[in-house]
Amino acid sequence: MTETNAEQQSNIQYAVDMSDVKKSFDGKEFVLNGIDLKIPKGKITVIIGYSGTGKSVLLKHILGLLHPTSGSIKVSGKEITSMTDEQLTKLRQDYGMLFQYAALFDDMTAIENVMFPLKEHRRDMPRSERLQIAKDRLKDSGLDPKHFNKLPAEMSGGMRKRVGLARALALDPDILIYDEPTTGLDPVLTEMVDNLIVSTHNLRKGSTSIVVSHDLYAAFRIADHVAMLDSGRVLLHGTPEDFLNSEIDLVKRFVAKGVRKELQPKNGESEEPARSTE
């Protein structure tokens, strides 16, 4: 699925629209140094970049967990940089988040984990309804019902990911955010999670998925759009094809060495990048 520039410039709604966003923690160095990024609604956007380039910091700005030093961040058209804590808390209910470690509650079963956000945020909802939603979400995430009452310790890594995803979906979010969902997983599990991201996205019409990944191969497989960060800026934002055809040196190097491989930090230049991009 690709869009022409003309289409992008017309009045497409953006899930996230960041404009000249800068962030410095110490007042000297800028981790984000003028981020301009429009993340279209209804698409899967994968954010890539070497370690330490600010991907997680960028996500935390979108979530309103970090405040920019300057710049504008709009989520679904609303400026979030001027929101109160209360408004931000409410905003976060529109997000579903899945992080590298699903961080399930150890003392709760799969189904209790998924019911938890509903208990917190949908206090008026009857228990029977919460239970039904939790079951539906777990099914959407591909967990076999025979595991619904298992504790995290009794589940495999893949099962825990499914529960984490189901919990992220509990409040029916418009925007799904994944930070390194496959880092540290074996290739089989990686592919399962990648497929799950795509199937979840397709199941939820109009939802927007934002995925931070080290895995360029996965980025190309699942993304409508890819944005690459470098030195606190967006180096390139385009379709996977745009990345394959890019003449930007750093993009070429990233593409050349990216497939199925953990990427080295930018400073660790010891590894010669491959020459071919085919």
Ligand X SMILES: Nc1ncnc2c1ncn2[C@@H]1O[C@H](COP(=O)(O)OP(=O)(O)OP(=O)(O)O)[C@@H](O)[C@H]1O
Q: Are 136 and 188 in contact (CB under 8 A)?
A: no
What is the Cα–Cα distance from 16 to 227, expressed in whole angstroms?
13
| Residue 184 C-beta: closest distance to Mg ion, Å | 13
DSSP H helix total and E strand total for the chain: 10, 10
Interaction with Mg ion in 218-277: which residues (CB under 5 A)? none
Q: Report if residue 109 touches ligand X, rule: CB under 6 A.
A: no
Neighbours of 180 (CB within 10 A): 18
Binding mask 29-58 for Mg ion (x = CB under 5 A): --------------------------xx--
Closest to ligand X by CB, 141 vs 213, is: 213
Of 7, 13, 19, 52, which lies in the binding site for ligand X, with binding defined by CB under 6 A?
52
Interaction with ligand X in 216-275: which residues (CB under 6 A)? none
**Stretch near ligand X under the rule CB under 6 A, chosen from 49-57, 144-152, 161-169, 248-256:** 49-57
Q: Which amino acid is at 226?
A: V
| Residue 56 C-beta: closest distance to Mg ion, Å | 3
Q: Are 49 and 230 in contact (CB under 8 A)?
A: yes
What is the Cα–Cα distance from 257 to 4, expressed in whole angstroms?
28
| Residue 184 C-beta: closest distance to ligand X, Å | 12
Tell me 67's DSSP state: -
**Stretch near ligand X under the rule CB under 6 A, chosen from 44-52, 193-201, 203-211, 244-252:** 44-52
Binding stretches for ligand X (CB under 6 A): 25, 31, 49, 51-57
